[in-house]
Structure 1
Amino acid sequence: MQHTLDALDAWRELPIKQQPSWPDSAKVELVSAELASLPPLVFAGEVDDMRYRLGQAAAGNAFLLQGGDCAETFAGATADQIRNRIKTILQMAVVLTYGASMPVVKMGRMAGQFAKPRSSDSETRGDVTLPAFRGEIVNGFDFTEESRTADPSRLLKAYHTAASTLNLIRAFTQGGFADLREVHSWNKGFAANPANKKYEQMAVEIDRAVKFMEAAGADFEELKRVDFFTGHEGLLMDYERPMTRIDSRTGDPYDTSAHFIWVGERTRELDGAHIDFVSKIRNPIGVKLGPTTTPETALALIDKLDPEREPGRLTFITRMGAGKIREALPPLLEAVKASGAQPLWVTDPMHGNGFATPTGYKTRRFDDVVDEVRGFFEAHRAVGTHPGGIHVELTGDDVTECLGGSEAIDEAGLATRYESLCDPRLNHMQSLELAFLVAEELEKR
């Protein structure tokens, strides 16, 4: 899959969406050159390892859990918040591993999720119109002209924030924090809460399994460490392209900003810049598919992004909405199955279920999230394909951004701790509850 740098840059001549209007193009070029000279954030061997594991999941022999912020903030990259997010994902992974009876590939929507697509290039409040907030890698959230002006120096701030986040991720996941016994003890506390009594039986079963492993002499030194990968939407080309390097071993280009890069629903045109760019890098690639996706589009994306049908190369992340998934997903599964291709199918039960409350909060109902997950599993069971993973916007903190769950957050409660700058996230308790519910679905497979 070797490509010259000229071929890698063919996207520059193609239509492109969701890019900021930089006021100073010369400064962007200087920043791009500096980014290109900085060390990679991830390494080609790690990317290859992840591709192999995603191939296992596509074949039905593993399950992908991806979780993290809607849009990361620079201020949110604290040790406590990063630890809490990793802790939540690790807790979910233990439950899913038990339910699936197979390895769970753990990926954070972290260390790079700084850019956000927007439905409009501008935002108007009263008689003032300013550029839309595109994530902290581009501009600020405050509604002032100074804050909303795109600033190329933020690209470098994003790189350094991602680097420090990755440093902590590696420390937490390799230094004993991820010990299976410790992570499971956190889940026992969750299940002991009277509000979560219905999950206690599974927690007891997992506890018995862990004790059996100890008694049988399992190597818990090995189980103190986990492999943890990172992924984000490859949206901002002034960041992704300078972070792309030619691997000295193979001559192949790798986007070293993350192990996994996905293209969103708004930028996945077959003849557009984003799809062309990701078609030429060696990273495993994800593509978001909404409810209007046709079988023809899905098959064309496979031909463009995975012409060699390489296991783990392509992931389809479906975001249909709870009310649409049972009708919209099966035709795609059937067409792809009939073609002989085997992408990894992952559900994103968050993005198709958003709405605004009368008080102006963007939110989602936990019950809708759960219903879309169930619809995803039902569709795969009906077609005979593998439900391979789940992609969730979550935080390890006790925010109040999504309605419902065992804490019964209502519309009045949203104001208590609503902290997201973009979309609402599941909090720590809701994330764990979702993991137990998904584990129940995995047990039915």
Structure 2
Amino acid sequence: MTDLPVTTAPTEPIPSAADYPGLDAWRGLTAVQQPTWTDSAVYQASVAELSALPPLVFAGEVDVLRERLAAAAQGKAFLLQGGDCAETFEGATADKISARVRTILQMAVVLTYGASLPVIKMGRMAGQFAKPRSSNDETRNGVTLPAYRGDMVNGFDFTPESRAHDASRMVRAYHTSASTLNLIRAFTQGGFADLRLVHHWNKGFMANPAHSRYESLAREIDRAVKFMDACGADFDALKRVEFFASHEALVLDYERALTRIDSRTGLPYGTSGHFLWIGERTRQLDGAHVDFLSRVRNPIGVKLGPGSSADDALRLIEKLDPEREPGRLTFITRMGAKNIREKLPALVEKVTASGAQVLWVTDPMHGNTVTSPNGYKTRNFDDVIDEVRGFFEVHKSLGTFPGGLHVEMTGDDVAECLGGSDPIDQEAFLDRYESVCDPRLNHMQSLEMAFLVAGALAKKGA
């Protein structure tokens, strides 16, 4: 989070979000992947409460992020975005949040050295409580119930009561997000993010013989930190870092209720998070999600899968970034390792030729999901890394900038993705598989990815 300038109150009345033109146009459009709220009175009360609560993030912070992402779109910074596939209310503990933030900070130190660029640190946190699903229902032993759509909508337990769509969960998601953001602010502004401390944590990673292949890079970083210390670098200034919150803007009732009009500019901001993205399943050009997010001032991301065409990308730019504003639009590609080298070039070429300055980010997780022989949804670490390599190769061949990395990860010692230098096998799933939705990289796999990407970034700058 950032320290914001003091602003004076506007002299003219600012319209409320309820009166702002067009903010409710989405209600007349097709909105896919939405809950079916079971109690109208609870729904109305929940939306009214959310509409009156304070914003979770502030317009000035959102503007700072847009500036940071503009630098990344111009090749002057790199975005690291990571966190849970689906946050849970139960998992929003101080220990789990600090472990996730710690892992992102550790990855960022390694990437900063590799890229020789500032790294924008962003969590899939404080709002990632809803998930799109391929089916509305789930059947077990002949019993069919609504699919789990994230804690914002319903519960994970396979019972009729748990799986009912309950609008009061949106209010709980707000309060859980608020407490998560409070902890993130404390961690990133109170010394937890001190560069020397984070570097010391990475020494623990290197103590494992399985990671000896990264020893050379780790030694270089160690020498750089010692050099800075010897030169009298102001490490006190490096105890605080900017850290931004992001999530998929899936449940439109929640996003609309947390839209506020900025008193400085009179423009609408989504205050549920700094950065909001539209998923592969909800990016219909004439759909409700694209329309609604086209009207807020936040930086917006769009997931692009292997079926995305260059024309799809150009039309999304026209709708979401008509002013061609650097930092406004991020394309997050999720092609799969088998498709990235074939499918990505045409998109990048045509978007670049159009003059748009979008930020290109790779999501190497979602296109590489498989089912293990023992029935668990998983991903192979080698496939994930291969998609990252393909992403860098494509951009190198086209002379464009590979601007960021978007990963589902955790700071915990889970076993959900196969492989890595300290390998996870499918037998470990029996005791250490914890995700309620998609598999995540664990702490060690996340750091290994950072070292591999840092090596690619260092070669790019050589």
How far 1:357 sits from its partner (Å)? 1.5
The answer to whether the 8 A contact 2:211-2:422 is kept is no
Query: Among 372, 396, 406, which residue is 1:357 paired with?
Result: 372
Matched, 1:200 2:202: no
Q: 2:8 maps to which residue? A: none
Q: 2:3 maps to which residue? A: none
Distance 1:355 1:104 in 2: 31
How far 1:358 sits from its partner (Å)? 2.6
Q: 1:19 maps to which residue? A: 34
Q: 2:106 maps to which residue? A: 91
Q: 1:340 maps to which residue? A: 355
Between the two proteins, the alignment pairs up a number of residues equal to: 444
**1:308 partner letter:** E
SS in 2 for 1:41: coil
Distance 2:82 2:352 in 1: 27
How far 1:126 sits from its partner (Å)? 2.4
Query: Among 404, 413, 417, which residue is 1:389 paired with?
Result: 404
Distance 1:314 1:95 in 2: 26
Q: 2:149 maps to which residue? A: 134
Matched, 1:297 2:312: yes
Matched, 1:184 2:194: no
How far 1:217 sits from its partner (Å)? 2.0
Distance 1:67 1:176 in 2: 21
How far 1:342 sits from its partner (Å)? 1.2
Query: Among 61, 64, 73, which residue is 1:58 paired with?
Result: 73
Query: Bigger CA drift: 193-202 or 264-273?
Result: 193-202
Query: Among 226, 231, 250, which residue is 2:241 paired with?
Result: 226
Q: 2:302 maps to which residue? A: 287
Distance 2:157 2:449 in 1: 33
SS in 2 for 1:137: coil
How far 1:276 sits from its partner (Å)? 0.2
Distance 2:348 2:317 in 1: 13
How far 1:29 sits from its partner (Å)? 1.5
Query: Among 430, 434, 439, which residue is 1:415 paired with?
Result: 430
Query: Bigger CA drift: 96-105 or 121-130?
Result: 121-130
**Deviation per residue, 1:2-26 (Å, 9 max, x gap):** 9952411100000110001111123
How far 1:416 sits from its partner (Å)? 2.4
Query: Bigger CA drift: 16-25 or 325-334?
Result: 16-25
Distance 1:102 1:42 in 2: 26
Query: Among 265, 268, 286, which residue is 1:271 paired with?
Result: 286
The answer to whether the 8 A contact 1:232-1:261 is kept is yes
The answer to whether the 8 A contact 1:192-1:200 is kept is no
The answer to whether the 8 A contact 1:141-1:421 is kept is yes
**2:152 partner letter:** I
**1:152 partner letter:** A
Q: 2:122 maps to which residue? A: 107
Q: 2:275 maps to which residue? A: 260
Query: Bigger CA drift: 350-359 or 89-98?
Result: 350-359
Q: How does 1:104-183 map to 2 (within 5 A)?
A: 104-183=119-198
**1:415 partner letter:** L
Distance 2:95 2:270 in 1: 28
Distance 1:378 1:215 in 2: 38
Q: 2:454 maps to which residue? A: 439
The answer to whether the 8 A contact 1:403-1:414 is kept is no
The answer to whether the 8 A contact 2:135-2:147 is kept is yes
Distance 1:332 1:26 in 2: 46
**1:354 partner letter:** T
**1:258 partner letter:** G
Q: 2:340 maps to which residue? A: 325
Structure 1: where are the runs of 5+ without partners?
none
Distance 1:133 1:384 in 2: 43
Query: Percent identity of the aligned residues?
Result: 72
Distance 2:262 2:39 in 1: 31
How far 1:200 sits from its partner (Å)? 1.0
How far 1:212 sits from its partner (Å)? 1.1
**1:345 partner letter:** W
Q: 2:60 maps to which residue? A: 45
The answer to whether the 8 A contact 2:152-2:173 is kept is yes
The answer to whether the 8 A contact 1:142-1:148 is kept is yes
Distance 1:192 1:126 in 2: 47
SS in 2 for 1:266: helix
**1:85 partner letter:** R
The answer to whether the 8 A contact 2:129-2:173 is kept is yes
Distance 2:186 2:79 in 1: 22
**1:396 partner letter:** G
SS in 2 for 1:230: strand
SS in 2 for 1:167: helix
SS in 2 for 1:416: helix
Distance 1:30 1:237 in 2: 16
Structure 2: where are the runs of 5+ without partners?
1-14
**2:391 partner letter:** F
Distance 1:345 1:303 in 2: 17
Find runs of 4+ consecutive structure 1 residues off by over 3 angstroms.
none
Q: 1:316 maps to which residue? A: 331
